[in-house]
Structures are given as C-alpha cells and as structure tokens.
Amino acid sequence: MVAGTARTKTSTVYKPSVIRKYEEALRCLVLPAIEAVPVATLSRGDVQRLVDEQAAERTPEHARKALVALRVAVRDGVLASNPSEGVTAPAASAEERPARVLAPEEVGAIIDAAEADDARLGRSFGGPLFALLFGAGLRLGEALALPWGVDGLGLEEGVVRVRRSLDRVRGPVSGTFQFVEPKTRKSRRDVPIGPSDIARLRRHRLATGRPSDGVLVFADERGLPVTPNGRPRRAFERAVRDAGLEQPLPRLHDLRHAYGSAMLAAGVSLHAVADLMGHNGPELLMRRYGHAYSDEVAGAALALERFREARIATGSATGDTTAKVTPLQIDG
C-alpha cells in the first residue's frame, strides 16, 4: 500500500489515513493473536476464533477491523488462499455508540455557540467552519484543505469545489500536514451552498484580513493548515457543551451526517445527495444517513390520520367511497 503497488478496488492508491488504519489493525489486533503462525497455514477456523476472541475481549468493532484487515491482505495477493472466506463478523453490540442524528435546530445551536466562542477568543473560526460542514456536507479534511477562489470556495458562484483533503498526520520529512487526493474519485465534486452560508463565509473572509485566492479558508496564524485533531475538535466540544445538547453528545463528523439526513428529509433525491456527498451510490447513503428525525416518528400517527381523512374526503366528493390509493412514487 505504501509503495502504491497494492491498490483499491477502483485502482487508486490508498490514502495515508487508510494505510494507518489497516496497519494498526494488523499490528494491534491480528499479529498479537496469531503470533508466529505461517500465514499459509491459517484456516477459516483460525480466523473465526480470532474474530470471536476480539469481540469477547474488546468490542465487536475491533473484531470487524481485524477481519477487514485480513480480507484486504487476501484481496491484494499477500495470502495465496482466503482463510477469511465464510467467516462471520459480529454485529454491533448494544454498548456501541448509537448513531446521533442532529436536527437542523441543534446544528443551529452549535453554530451559534461556536460564533459566541469565536467572539470571546477574538477570532473567526468555529462558527464558519461548522456552518460549512453542515451546509455542504464536507468531511473535516476536505474543509481544512479548501483554498479561497474558483479552485476551492467560490463565493461568487456559491460553490464549494472539493479537489483535495488534509491528512491528519504530519509528514515525516516536512513536519507539516500534507494535502492528499480525496477519498474516492466521486469525492472530487462541486457542492452548491445557500445564501446564508455564503454571507457567513464572506464575513469570515473579512474577519481574517481578506486573504487572496489560493490561501486556505481555515488556517493557523501563519497561514498553514490547522491540526485536524486539535483546534477544530476543541472548538466543537466547547460549542456542543455551550449549546446544552443532550446525550449522546455528537461528534464533529455528525455535521456531515446531519447534512445527508436533512437533504433526504427535504426531498432531495437519493442519487443527487449521493453525488453531493461524494458517495458511489445511494445504497450506502441510505444506510448511513436515511434516519428519521424524532419529530417525524412522533408525528407519524397524526400524519396517517390526516392522510386517511384526506383520502376519504376526496372519495366522498367524487362519489367513490372506496377511495383508491395511488402507489407512492419513490425516486431511486
């Protein structure tokens, strides 16, 4: 993977963050468990026991990571046979963190709290960053790699052009955070943003000294990339605390999750949202973001009652007491 000879299913090189994830799983989960066993002698039973032990001693998530790391090794030809074939990965346990679906009003409270925090610190950072993550559905690394101008954040057109991402680990030679290719080919995309977000980002540009095109939208005092796991996450944690959100507390990536859920709730088609978020298709989109808001669930019975009454009234007005129901047309 590091050399670029082992590639992804779409023949692209692995991102540094993905390489680190697999290496961590192999070194910390797989190798200590199998010890000095020749890989050619591994059987399906060996792999199943490894997965089951990781689930019991750690968590189902650790077990799934160990299994994925082995399967990647098999796919890229490191192992001649496939000892992971037929091995079942454990499902998520009740103790694993549930999905957090942020409603738009909760996101608004986070952004307001972040702007208040920015004012207290005498800077412009958290408020516009979190607004952009929610307003364009960006990954954090994509937002931190954005430059001003037509090659990145184009305020005149109201478009975010995602062309690169910021790695979360400093380069071993340069000592700075490196720009890398987006996660997938579909991640290279143009995302429109709304007028309120454009206005907020215009204020951010003014507040940061009207930087010229090509300069990073979110940078440190020297104009260099900020530490991804540093300032953004600390600012988000303070904003969540000040917004008074209930448990389970959201993570920073949940702003992207909220974008997908809100887009679907607003009636945007599955395929359109998949393109806007850089997903390869609508299937993954529905699994990750197709959650119902709590108010939709709570109001479901009333919505059904109103639907029934409307259909009965329509049938009575036309003299058709059977009130035939037209099948729903579902996009995608």
> Is 316's pLDDT higher than 70?
no
Q: Which residues on adjacent β-strands are paired with residue 166?
A: 179
Q: Give the DSSP per-residue string, 248-312.
A: SPPPTTHHHHHHHHHHHHTT--HHHHHHHHT-SSHHHHHHHH-PPPHHHHHTHHHHHHHHHHHHH
The greatest distance separating any two alpha carbons of the chain, rounded to the nearest whole angstrom, comes to 80
Q: Which residues on adjacent β-strands are paired with residue 147?
A: 216
Give the per-residue pLDDT at 142: 95
Average pLDDT score over residue span 220-233: 89
> Is 235's pLDDT higher than 90?
yes
> Is 325's pLDDT higher than 50?
no
The percent of residues above 90 in pLDDT, for the chain, comes to 37
Average pLDDT score over residue span 231-251: 93
Measured between alpha carbons, how far is 87 from 265 in angstroms, rounded to an integer? 37
Reported as half-sphere exposure (CB side, CA atoms, 13 A), residue 300 has a value of 6
Give the per-residue pLDDT at 289: 66
Domain boundaries of the chain, sorted by first residue: 1-96, 104-243, 295-325
Cα first-last separation, the chain:
35
Identify the residue whose tokens are 């973001």.
289
The percent of residues above 70 in pLDDT, for the chain, comes to 81
Give the per-residue pLDDT at 97: 53
Helices (H), the chain: 16-25, 31-34, 44-57, 60-75, 104-121, 126-136, 140-144, 195-207, 231-243, 254-265, 270-277, 282-289, 294-298, 300-318
Average pLDDT score over residue span 175-193: 84
The pTM of the full predicted model, rounded to 2 decimals, is 0.69
- Find the range with the poorest average confidence among 72-86, 187-201, 263-277: 72-86
